[in-house]
Amino acid sequence: MKSVAVFVCVALAACATEPVTDLHAKFVQGQKVLDRSFVDGSRGKAAIVVKRDSGLLGSGCSATVLIGGNRVALLDPGEAVMLQLPEGDFVVGAANNGGLCGSQIAEVKVAARNASLTKVRIGYGASMAFTISETAY
């Protein structure tokens, strides 16, 4: 029984997603950008990069990036979007698009500053919780 519990813990930990570096992220364009005004610089010059972790957990579903509740982009694992916003505080959200991944929304408040890059990570933890957080990656 003890070995079964250890196996389950290791299996769940292996399902956690991994952060993606800027170098390895695939930045989305075209139809995956749902609102171009958030990426074309017309709203401001403070940069926020939102990246979706790589890994198996949740890989069958895309995540919608939200800024203040507005749908901005769709991200699959390993993808990213560069947002250009005015300086200020924003609620950045991520929503699962249903299906096998369920319907979950996670949000984090971030500060966008001119001449500064804020990075946000979307992923799943070992407990299979859908998360969004600021990151150094």
Residue for token digits 């924003």? 90
pTM value is 0.84
In Å, how far from its chain's centre is CA 66?
A: 10
**Which of 65, 72, 53, 49 lies closest to 119, judged by CA?**
49
> What radius of gyration, in Å, describes the C-alpha atoms of the chain?
16
Q: What is the mean pLDDT of residues 126-130?
A: 81
Best CATH choice for the domain 2-134 from the list 3.90.25, 2.60.40, 1.10.1060, 3.30.160: 2.60.40
Judge whether residue 42 has pLDDT over 90: no
Region 40-44 average pLDDT: 86
Q: H or E element: which one contains 95? A: strand 88-96
For 91-123, the pLDDT digits (tens) are 999 998 766 667 789 999 999 998 889 999 999
What's the pLDDT at 126? 78
Q: For residue 17, what pLDDT is reported?
A: 85
Tokens of 125: 């933890």
Contacts of 121 (CB under 8 A, 6+ apart): 19, 51, 53, 131, 132, 133, 134, 135, 137
C-alpha closest to that of 34 among 71, 79, 80, 75? 71
Q: What is the pLDDT of residues 46-80, one digit of tens each?
A: 999 999 999 876 666 889 999 999 999 999 999 99
State yes or no: pLDDT of 15 exceeds 80: no
Task: Provide the mean pLDDT of the chain.
Answer: 85
